[in-house]
Structure 1
Amino acid sequence: MHAHCHNHGNKPQSKYEEALGKYNTEISDDEVREAVKKIIAEKVHENDNIETKKFLMGSIELTTLKTTDSETSVMAFTEKVNQFDEAYGDLPHVATICVYPCFAKTVSETLEIDGVEIACVSGSFPSSQALIEVKVAETALAIKDGATEIDIVMPVGKFLSGDYEGVADEISELKQVCGENAMKVILETGCLKTASNIKKASIIAMYAGADYIKTSTGKLEPAATPEAAYVMCQAIKEYYEETGIQIGFKPAGGINSVMDALIYYTIVKEVLGEKWLTNKWFRLGTSRLANMLLSEIEGKETKFF
């Protein structure tokens, strides 16, 4: 028996507790708040320019997740992305169209623009409260119908009750279903409350197979916050230093202004650096931002999407 598997005769440490042990997860909410305040005060203004806004346009995951979505509305939504290319050829197209799995086929049959990913929220979004068999089936069907990326919600209830192994098992099982397709794990940071929890959830999700970690579903308040983004980026950075594996970051929910987007961009730039400032590794989950960015880039009120 190896002594290191045991913490003083108690039950053996799970491999996730062992993984968490390599990171500092005892972080103070106040320190995070101060660090974010400093970044916003000192650094955001230098990114408030047209170049950055054009870049942000190309990082948008244009999202429709409404009860009222239909094949007709999703087709029209996708056509907008096709037409954008013609209307604004000098601007980058959005990174992704994000829809429910029942519309993956509609998007993949309508989309004509190369390089736009088709993301589906899966695994009983937004609650993640379903049997794993249902989550597996939904994910596999989304991919079969043309989804190139999958966004799942971490089982938050399991996490909060301390069942880290259960959380990790679900994530890794769904990653197996995704195979080569990128999988984003939504932490629903508003439910996690503390910086320490957000850091732990980030690390567990990455170890279990997340290709991206994402702040929120946008269906609960509070959604994304700069503080949560800071902690998640810190976790991505430490995970990269520890493993050499680069993980993407996606703030989503509550991105209500161009300034909000610039703040997330600046946090990524300051914590993670240039290597993450591409539309592969940094994504923004939002729809309202597209017209706002367009208006600022064009210098006039523009409603395209």
Structure 2
Amino acid sequence: MTYTKTILPQNEGENTQNNDKSKYEKALEMYETNLNDAEVQATVKQIIEEKVPQNDTLNVKKFLFGSIELTTLSTTDTEEKVLRMVEKVNRFDREYPDIPHVAAVCVYPVFTELVSKSLEVDGVEITNVCGNFPSSQARMEVKVAETQLAVADGATEIDIVLPVGKFLSGDYEGVCDDISEMKQACGAAPMKVILETGDLETASNIKKAALLSMYAGADYIKTSTGKEKVSATPEAAYVMCQAIKAYHEKTGIQIGFKPAGGINTVMDAIIYYTIVQQVLGEQWLTNKWFRMGTSRLTNLLLSEILGKETKFF
């Protein structure tokens, strides 16, 4: 994926009060960010009731399987555990040639070199969580070093966490400066920014965080780390997709979307698929632009695709 720098609003011809605002605050003013949570909930409920049933199909389930980022991000991860996961990806590609392989394998950077050397399937990305995941609370020098080392070891995509504390304190410029610096550390590797939507609480905050992340250099925006009490929700996904759509209409830049955390059932996955379909359209329904961060869903989807209970992963 090629990153194209977005042209931000300029200062020329603006009054002194407006000049005191950062370029990112000016960017936010170009969008509607004052959202009503109840209205968002009602719209999402309507989408689920009216549109989801038509997507409960075999083809959609195969697509969803091919959009999974097979993930292990546990304190108890070992080289042996990670290697077993990668070997299953390799074996699946040989044993089930008619079913799409997963989109990516997602691990901590300490395991990147191992994954890079053992992964045999073309088209499966190596995703790393970087920048002091999941809190994003570290000196920038540490975040940058971790990210650069991950890319050097073979990571092809990088997931970072939005500095939520800075966002909630209103330091939007600081948030964007952090994301921009991390984007530079990624080099050519696409960068996903995790908004941690459960901590942002309101639809308005989620939309602002999404827009700021995209203007600061995100190639994807992602809902959650899966480490907080509230992870992905259909309402957060809807708002993020609306932000992606508005940003694309204004800039022409396509941004990917990744729900993650709390995707526990096949129907959960179909709901997220349907929201992307209804808000963003078919252009986003590829395993490049739509990803799901989940591992528990792999066997559930595979069982429904094959028509029998299967525990491959």
In 2, Cα distance between equivalents of 1:21 and 1:5 = 15
Code of the aligned partner of 1:128: S
SS of residue paired to 1:4 = coil
Give the Cα–Cα distance (whole angstroms) in 2 for the partners of residues 182 and 167 of structure 1: 19
In 2: Cα distance, 1:229 partner to 1:4 partner: 35
- Aligned residue among 47, 69, 77 for 1:69: 77
Which amino acid letter does the alignment assign opposite residue 136 of structure 1? V
The answer to whether residue 259 in structure 2 is matched with residue 251 in structure 1 is: yes
**In structure 2, which of residues 231, 234, 243 is the aligned counterpart of residue 235 of structure 1?**
243
Query: Which residue does 1:55 correspond to in 2?
Result: 63
Q: Give the aligned partner of residue 93 of structure 1.
A: 101
Q: In structure 1, what is the Cα distance between the partners aligned to 2:111 and 2:142? A: 18
- Structure 1, unaligned stretches of length 5 or more? none
- 1:6 deviates by 3.0
Distance 2:83 2:37 in 1: 43
Q: What is the aligned partner in structure 1 of residue 40 from structure 2?
A: 32
SS at match of 1:24: coil
Distance in 2 between residues matched to 1:3 and 1:146, nearest whole Å? 47
Give the residue type in structure 2 aligned to 1:7.
Q
Separation in structure 1 between the aligned mates of residue 17 and residue 280 of structure 2, nearest angstrom: 34
Give the 3-state SS of the residue equivalent to 1:7 in structure 2: helix
Following the alignment from structure 2 to structure 1, what is the Cα–Cα distance between the partners of residues 166 and 282?
35
Give unpaired runs (5+ residues) of structure 2. 1-10
The aligned counterpart of 1:137 is 145
Instruction: Provide Cα deviations, 1:202-234, integer angstroms capped at 9, x if missing partner.
Output: 000000000000000000111000000000000
User: 1:223 aligned to 2:231?
Assistant: yes
- Counterpart of 1:273? 281
1:6 alignment counterpart:
16
Distance 1:304 1:163, change over 3 A: same
**Which stretches of structure 1, 4 residues or longer, exceed 6 Å deviation after superposition?**
none
Of 264, 277, 280, the match for 2:272: 264
TM-score (norm 1): 0.98
Instruction: Name the counterpart of 1:103.
Output: 111
Tell whether the 8 Å contact from 1:185 to 1:214 is kept in structure 2 after alignment.
yes
What does residue 79 of structure 1 align with?
A: 87
Where does 1:167-186 land on structure 2 (aligned, <5 Å)? 167-186=175-194
Distance (whole Å) between structure 2 residues aligned to residue 272 and residue 30 of structure 1: 21
Partner of 1:118: 126
Deviation at 1:71, TM superposition (A): 1.0
1:204 equivalent in alignment to 2:204? no
Cα distance in 1, alignment partners of residues 152 and 22 from structure 2: 34
Cα root mean square deviation, aligned:
1.0
Contact 1:6/1:13 (<8 A) preserved = no
The answer as to whether partners of 1:99 and 1:121 remain within 8 angstroms in 2 is yes
Q: In structure 2, what is the Cα distance between the partners aligned to 1:219 and 1:302? A: 27
Corresponding residue of 2:222: 214
